[in-house]
Structure 1
Amino acid sequence: MSNHYHHLVFGPSALARQRAKGSYTAYGAQTERGDDGPDELDGREKVIIRAADQFYLSTVTETGWPYVQYRSGPAGFLRVLDDHTLAFADFAGNNQYVTAGNLDANDRVALIVVDYPRRQRVKIYGRATVVEGSADPALLERLRQVPGGTVESRCERSVVISVEAIDWNCTRSIIPRYDQDYVRRMGALYERDAAAREKVLLDRIAELEARLE
């Protein structure tokens, strides 16, 4: 397992708390060996990213504060360009330009991508470059293309992220949520395949019985 994430996020104070609370062996001890360097996206990460229609994006303000945005779009708008690179078309917003301005001064970003029905979430750290649409219109047009067609919203620029580190979070605190498209697809599955419907129900019963025990 790569330890690049641990080297990025575990400072002396975090390590001190881990030692005091008994979790250092599970986490901080990873920093005792040299930094493995940037992580690469594997199949599991690519699946959750390509299916995402929303994510949270954090940048660093010039006053030193974190700035978090909620980004949403059609599934697939956050693109996997290769094993080390993500990108998305930046939709026109409220003209505050806080994220773009932050990236002009400090290219560090953090993303959280959540799959609510499956209770999965992944944190991605990276360095982002802002590419104005006028500087590379072909890239922006490429990023506007999604599996369902073309993003109709006005897009001003591209944001390209070089991935540094990846960490999958515990699923315990994720509250499942189901959007209309998910419910529609599950309903179609039930109608099409009675055996599948029965298996889903039996699996759910088994899960609840295990929780009761």
Structure 2
Amino acid sequence: MAQTFLHTMFGPRSRALQEAAGSRASYARMEADAGAADILTAREIAFIEARDSFYMASVSEDGWPYVQHRGGPPGFLHSIGDNRIGFADFTGNRQYLSAANLAADDRVALFLMDYPNRRRLKLIGHARSSDAPEDMAPLLAPHYAAVPERAFVIDIVGFDWNCPQHITPRFTEADIARATQPLLQELARLRARVAELEELKT
């Protein structure tokens, strides 16, 4: 099922616009070098399984694109083998837009962001939802409080790494805590030393 991101996403109109913009030759070389299929490697899997959120696009029955943010504990989206990834669909607002869209058209696109390191991975594939125990079991997050309703299983067709241009670095509380911990420890040490010196004076 895997193809390549470029071969799947580049159509005649996008190629024509590339030609008009003068970028077609460069992208043609990329397509020629892309190989037979995009297969998830250890690099992509490690990136995927480190995420605690991502964006997933699907298409409604009327052709409208819909983008949904998905979140969970780090690793809630992970590889389940054979160029396949999955995640537990936790109980939310019960609009069921993504689930409904997939019943009509199983194609999805995912954006996975690493803001601190200014990296992003785009994935395209065919998705299905399932409440079968064999699909749910490998995707459960036992220490996460949210209730899983179903599993989403995605067979990856292609992927593309993007350049860091225009990605603004953003940091979580955990990122900031890790970065400032050495400074706070040094501050505590200095305060303790100052207190010792004050005692000596008295």
The CA distance in 2 between the partners of 1:139 and 1:159, in whole Å, is: 8
The whole-number CA distance in structure 2 between the counterparts of 1:54 and 1:163 is 18
1:185 paired to 2:178? yes
Normalised by the size of structure 1, how large is the TM-score? 0.79
Query: Which amino acid in structure 1 is aligned with residue 67 of structure 2?
Result: V
CA-based RMSD of the aligned residues comes to 2.3
Instruction: Specify the code of the residue in structure 2 equivalent to 1:167.
Output: D
TM-score (norm 2): 0.83
Specify the SS of the correspondent of 2:110: strand
Q: Which residue of 2 aligns with 1:209?
A: none
Alpha-carbon distance between aligned partners in 2 of 1:188 and 1:142, rounded to the nearest angstrom: 35
Once the two structures are overlaid, the 10-residue window that deviates more, 24-33 or 54-63, is 24-33
The residue number in structure 2 matching 1:200 is none
Give the Cα separation in 1 of the matches to 2:32 and 2:120: 27
Which amino acid is the alignment partner of residue 17 of structure 1? L
- Structure 2 CA distance, aligned partners of 1:78 and 1:171? 23
Structure 2 residue 177 is the aligned partner of structure 1 residue 175: no
The AA in structure 1 aligned to 2:146 is: S
> 5 Å matches for 1:103-182?
103-132=102-131, 136-145=132-141, 149-182=142-175
Deviations 1:132-155 (A, max 9, x none): 2xxx2353243123xxx5222111
Q: Corresponding residue for 1:11?
A: 11
Partner Cα distance (1:161, 1:87) in 2: 6
TM alignment of 1:46-125, pairs within 5 A: 46-125=45-124
Counterpart contact for 1:92–1:156, Cα < 8 Å: yes
Number of equivalenced pairs: 185
* Residue identity matched to 2:177: R
User: What displacement does 1:184 show?
Assistant: 1.5
Q: Which runs of 4+ in 1 moved over 4 A?
A: 29-35, 189-193
List runs of 5+ in structure 1 lacking aligned partners. Answer: 194-213
CA distance in 2, matches of 1:173, 1:108: 27
**Gap regions ≥5 residues in structure 2:** 187-202
Distance 2:185 2:82 in 1: 36
Matched-pair contact (CA < 8 Å) for 1:10–1:28: no
